[in-house]
Structure 1
């Protein structure tokens, strides 16, 4: 079984990979990409092999090795990623894993629960839900495990 993890934070990515390895050992292989662009390229090039995508909500638009464009950090990169998948007819199940409880600024600010509900409504054919990640707690593990079991990964 193959999962795609699109996550720019090394600590968070390592925690997620370690948890999946502990729970599912040799059943799941994880490919990691670090930006909106590299994640999209991966699913366009070989998306059919992935059973599920674990996606960060806020991340850089480009990988750091692209040059000075890596400064383009996108608060709603995950939502834009889902929009591109929908536009291209790619319906691999997606679970967003985020460490933020609020997104945007001022009148554009939205909380975690509101964003999750908006995404469930707009991308109901492939968006499965959101996990609120905190490395200091284990709550995120149980919620992620629930989404993984929904997709029959075990």
Structure 2
């Protein structure tokens, strides 16, 4: 049985990912909705795949109590994984194509290029989520490691 971590602060995105992946992969799914719990999960568990949102609140709780939004929290998590030598395959899964604000704006394409270069041993790619389209489903399936797929 595979273990997959889905880290995202949007419950509908998590539900959509789990629905899609559970139809093609035999897996136990762990959900995480903030930066702190995602780091804790990664440091204390072993996963076969991580589906990671780029922007995450610092910690969980009510919207007003979740701390600051980390616009590049996914990138920060990849840096921690690299430092800790955790090489679990990661797919970035986001609904935004730009991150940051004012002069600190960076596009998903630029982030993808940087992450591809710096974390090529475990970063598989990025997928733009759009609930009105099914294109993201094909893109996510195409990025899955071959060893993860199984007949349900």
**Shared fold (TM-score, shorter chain, > 0.5):** yes
In the alignment, structure 1 residue 92 sits paired with structure 2 residue 88? yes
Structure-2 residue corresponding to 1:12: 13
Structure-2 residue corresponding to 1:60: 57
Structure-1 residue corresponding to 2:27: 28
Query: SS where residue 148 of structure 2 aligns?
Result: coil
Structure-2 residue corresponding to 1:72: 68
Q: Deviations over 1:10-64 (max 9, x none)?
A: 111111111112233xx122111111110111111112xx111000000111111
User: Which is helix-richer, 1 or 2?
Assistant: 1
For structure 1, the residue ranges without an aligned partner over 5 or more in a row are none
For structure 2, the residue ranges without an aligned partner over 5 or more in a row are none
Query: SS where residue 63 of structure 1 aligns?
Result: coil
CA distance in 1, matches of 2:49, 2:15: 18
Runs of 4+ with >6 A deviation: none
Q: Deviations over 1:52-111 (max 9, x none)?
A: 10000001111117x93x132110000000011111111111101000011112222111
TM-score for both structures, normalised by structure 2: 0.91
Give me the CA root mean square deviation.
1.4
TM-score for both structures, normalised by structure 1: 0.90
CA distance in 2, matches of 1:115, 1:45: 27
1:36-55 matches, cutoff 5 A = 36-47=35-46, 50-55=47-52
